[in-house]
Amino acid sequence: MSIIYTCRHCGQEIGALDQDVVDTTMLGIDKLSIGETKEMIHFKQNGDVAIQVICESCENALEDHPHYHELDFFIQ
Ligand SMILES: [Zn+2]
């Protein structure tokens, strides 16, 4: 299976990992609440896992516009 990281803001694919076993600790998602995990992680029918994160360019844009942080959830 693959773990695919996609930017939640612009939809750009940031990276992908091939994993036999998905370890939620490795992904850092064990620290999230159940609700957050459901929003961020999508299990595809082919077994791949899509994780929505934020890409560098969107992160930079948000630093220029910090008020965006009030509108959405971000990984620390
Ligand atoms: Zn982005």
Separation of 39 CA from ligand 1 center, angstroms? Answer: 17
d(Cα 73, Cα 71) in Å, to the nearest integer? 7
User: How many whole angstroms from 67 Cα to the centroid of ligand 1?
Assistant: 17
Mean pLDDT of 35-41: 79
How far is the first Cα of the chain from the last one, in angstroms, to the nearest whole number? 26
pLDDT value at position 65?
Answer: 75
Q: For residue 69, report the distance from its CA to the centre of ligand 1, in Å.
A: 14
CA 17–ligand 1 middle distance (angstroms): 19
42, pLDDT greater than 90: no
Which residues, including other chains, have CB under 8 Å from residue 43's CB and lie 6 or more apart? Answer: 49, 50
- Spacing, Cα 60 to ligand 1 middle (Å): 9
**Which residue ranges make up each domain of the chain?**
2-70
Instruction: Indicate the pTM of the whole model.
Output: 0.61
pLDDT in tens, 4-34: 999 988 999 999 988 776 666 666 666 767 7
Residue type, 45: Q
